Amino acid sequence: MKLDMRRLSIDWLIEIIHIGIERIVIVDRDGIIVYIDEAYCEFIGTTFDDAIGRPVQEIIENTRMHIVAKTGEKEIENLQPINGSVMIANRYPIFIDGKLVGAFGTVIFPDPDNLRHFKNKMNNLLEELNFYKNKAVNELTSKYSFDDLIGNSHTFKAAKALGEKVAGSDSSVLITGESGTGKELFAHAIHHSSARSSFPFVAINCASIPEVLFESELFGYEDGAFTGAKKGGKEGLFTVANKGTVFLDEIGDMPLSMQSKLLRALQEKEVQPVGGQKTIPIDLRIIAATNRDLTKMIEEGTFRQDLFYRLNVINIEIPPLRKRKDDIEAISNKLLQKLERKFYRKGTVLSPEVVTKLEEHKWPGNVRELENVLERAINVLDGTVILSEHLPLYIRDQKMKASEQESLNNNSSKHVSPLAVQPLKETLAQAEKKAMTHALKIADGDKLAAAKLLGIGKTSFYDKCKVYDIR
């Protein structure tokens, strides 16, 4: 059965008022009380019969109901001291047929305990708000400086020097290089050394945003712009980064339909939110990065030539790790410092054999691959020295595989017999002797330290030294 609100009795309405947490008073045009609920009367120390027909300012201290009844202007969430408590008061004018006839007022928290509860709740909400605000601010700042870019090879030093030189400019920068070479670190460092460093640094991965959401993510949208749009609209990332730097990573993966809109935004220095009628001015520096050949994409028609020229004002090309082998040890030590903080370790070092093996590898994944290899080593490490055995098999055995391949190539035209296979016991003994000898070398001949490195007892180590005639 559908309830007709017009048929509610006065008893229903009064009971509904009593149930609510808010206390209610109604005055006429002259500020005379025409209704006040019993709980309100009890709180202020009066009765319903005594309050009705009297000026509201005589009954309720610090009230402004008579003023609202005269001005017709509502007052929301005002603090009103009453009986030693601070109430939160809302006051609304009442209009009937367009004519001001009185005012309706509510107050909440009729006792100090409720007020303290409300205050504590508000403080908790403010602390939570400040936490997320600080988190958002931290996430929008540069995390690396040029001091974090490690390398002494000629090509890398040249790229770093160019980055430092142009950091103070507002010109667009295009950073190119293979995946994992550290393009984003360069972008962070450039922003960190720029005049915009105190403003946001917003990194946008163009490969991770669905094409249908690209425009709304970058430029924002108005309330009701499309189905599923957040109520009240959403600020775009370009507006968030105003006065700062936008880093467009994987720019080569930006949809062609979006490239023209990006070009217009950069040329006009303004954005128009989806569903909006007005443009918003922006002041940004753009740093873009890609591992793709944009000139080839231009020829194929998948990247706009005019956008390329807009972005490629300054080009910084980062060399791959295989072309800067002399930097591998220094980079590894820097990465180990970072990993030690993550895994709560200290004093981790690379053995000379490991450095050699790292330098022999081709590193198709560049610095990112190197970091993954070192993280894997720390996870399986017992002591503080990373040995060859802690490396992944594909790096540990790369030289042996190369030798085997060379042998196969040399004997490809000959009929050779299968390689002789040693008994497992002898193979294990040779490996054990080699590991002990290497541990002694790392420990400078200290057998106790070598035993600790190998994770075996002192007595066991001494016994094995006798067996293998290790001095």
Which CATH number goes with the domain that contains 150? 3.40.50.300
Domain membership of residue 356 (yes or no) is yes
The more confident residue out of 208 and 17 is 208
Q: For the segment 316-365, what is each residue's pLDDT rounded down to a tens digit?
A: 999 999 999 999 999 999 999 999 998 888 899 999 999 999 999 999 99
Could you say which of 108, 134, 159 is where a domain stops?
108
Domain membership of residue 410 (yes or no) is no
Q: For the segment 328-340, what is each residue's pLDDT rounded down to a tens digit?
A: 999 999 999 999 9
State the Cα–Cα distance between residues 23 and 114, nearest whole angstrom.
Answer: 14
Per cent of the chain over pLDDT 90 is 56
pLDDT for 405: 47
Could you say which of 284, 319, 354 is where a domain stops?
319
206 and 293 fall within a common domain: yes
Q: What is the DSSP string of 41-81?
A: HHHHT--HHHHTTSBHHHHSTT--HHHHHHH---EEEEEEE
* φ, ψ (nearest 5 deg) of residue 350: -95, 135
Domain membership of residue 139 (yes or no) is no
- From the list 258, 256, 283, the residue with the least C-alpha distance to 269 is 283
Domain membership of residue 239 (yes or no) is yes
Three-state DSSP at 165 gives helix
Domain membership of residue 266 (yes or no) is yes
313 and 171 fall within a common domain: yes
State the Cα–Cα distance between residues 176 and 188, nearest whole angstrom.
Answer: 15
Three-state DSSP at 248 gives strand
448 and 383 fall within a common domain: yes
Could you say which of 319, 351, 370 is where a domain stops?
319
Residue 133 has pLDDT above 70, yes or no: no
Per the structure, how many domains does the chain have? 3
Beta bridge partners of 99: 96
Mean pLDDT of the region 72-83: 87
- From the list 190, 176, 275, the residue with the least C-alpha distance to 224 is 275
Residue 119 has pLDDT above 70, yes or no: no
381 and 429 fall within a common domain: yes
pLDDT level of residue 403 (50, 70, 90 thresholds) = very low
254, 248 in Cβ contact below 8 A?
yes
Residue 4 has pLDDT above 70, yes or no: no
Beta strands at 314-317 and 173-176: parallel, antiparallel or unpaired: parallel
Mean pLDDT of the region 38-54: 91
441 and 295 fall within a common domain: no
74 and 163 fall within a common domain: no
- CB proximity list for 366: less than 8 A, separation 6 or greater: 178, 179, 180, 181, 182, 320, 321
301 and 330 fall within a common domain: no
Domain membership of residue 460 (yes or no) is yes
pLDDT level of residue 81 (50, 70, 90 thresholds) = confident
Residue 144 has pLDDT above 70, yes or no: yes
pLDDT level of residue 289 (50, 70, 90 thresholds) = very high
Domain membership of residue 417 (yes or no) is no
Residue 43 has pLDDT above 80, yes or no: yes
Domain with 384, as residue range(s), is 324-401+424-467
Question: Measured between alpha carbons, how far is residue 462 from residues 312, 331, 357, 384, 441 in Å?
Answer: 65, 37, 29, 22, 15
pLDDT for 431: 84
28 and 88 fall within a common domain: yes
294 and 161 fall within a common domain: yes
CA-based radius of gyration for the chain: 37
pLDDT for 294: 95
164 and 297 fall within a common domain: yes
Pick left, alpha or beta for residue 444 (phi over 0 → left; psi -120 to 50 → alpha; otherwise beta): left
387, 354 in Cβ contact below 8 A?
yes
Residue 399 has pLDDT above 70, yes or no: no
Q: What is the DSSP string of 441-461?
A: HHTTT-HHHHHHHHT--HHHH
Beta strands at 234-235 and 173-176: parallel, antiparallel or unpaired: unpaired
- CB proximity list for 196: less than 8 A, separation 6 or greater: 243, 244, 245, 285
pLDDT for 170: 94
361 and 434 fall within a common domain: yes
pLDDT level of residue 442 (50, 70, 90 thresholds) = confident
Domain membership of residue 256 (yes or no) is yes
231 and 263 fall within a common domain: yes
> What CATH number should be reported for the domain holding residue 81?
3.30.450.20
> What CATH number should be reported for the domain holding residue 439?
1.10.8.60
Minimum mean pLDDT range among 11-25, 138-152, 203-217, 417-431: 417-431
When the pLDDT of each residue in the chain is averaged and rounded to a whole number, the result is 85
